[in-house]
Amino acid sequence: AQSVTQLDSQVPVFEEAPVELRCNYSSSVSVYLFWYVQYPNQGLQLLLKYLSGSTLVKGINGFEAEFNKSQTSFHLRKPSVHISDTAEYFCAVSWIQGAQKLVFGQGTRLTINP
């Protein structure tokens, strides 16, 4: 069975500092990988996705993530954060076959301090 672990439930950082949100997954089959962001009182918005090809994926709002197959990780990074990045971030995986249900991590709450 697939599972996703986000290693930090909360990450506080100062504005303009770099940030890394960690995500590890387990799966016996090939998967697609996603990061979603949820701003307060909103649904989830896709930040970036890995389907195939280059392991370094760039997304919206200056975020990027690197797929590491040997470590089964898909960590999210941003070199310099802004107050507006305050949100909850979810890592998710889906099977390549079938209806491609998403399995989500528990979420990481990113708080940016001025």
Partner 1 sequence: DVKVTQSSRYLVKRTGEKVFLECVQDMDHENMFWYRQDPGLGLRLIYFSYDVKMKEKGDIPEGYSVSREKKERFSLILESASTNQTSMYLCASKRANQPQHFGDGTRLSIL
Q: Which residues bind partner 1 (CB under 8 A)?
A: 4, 6, 9, 34, 36, 41-46, 49, 51, 90, 99-107
| Residue 27 dihedral angles phi and psi, to the nearest 5° | -165, 145
**Looking at beta carbons only, is 26 or 100 nearer to partner 1?**
100
**Looking at beta carbons only, is 4 or 87 nearer to partner 1?**
4
**Looking at beta carbons only, is 51 or 56 nearer to partner 1?**
51
| Residue 83 dihedral angles phi and psi, to the nearest 5° | -50, -35
Contacts of 107 (CB under 8 A, 6+ apart): 6, 9, 38, 88, 89, 90
Q: Are 1 and 31 in contact (CB under 8 A)?
A: no
Q: Least separation, in Å, of the C-beta of 54 and partner 1?
A: 17
Q: Are 37 and 60 in contact (CB under 8 A)?
A: no
**Looking at beta carbons only, is 13 or 102 nearer to partner 1?**
102
Q: Least separation, in Å, of the C-beta of 9 and partner 1?
A: 7
Q: Least separation, in Å, of the C-beta of 52 and partner 1?
A: 10
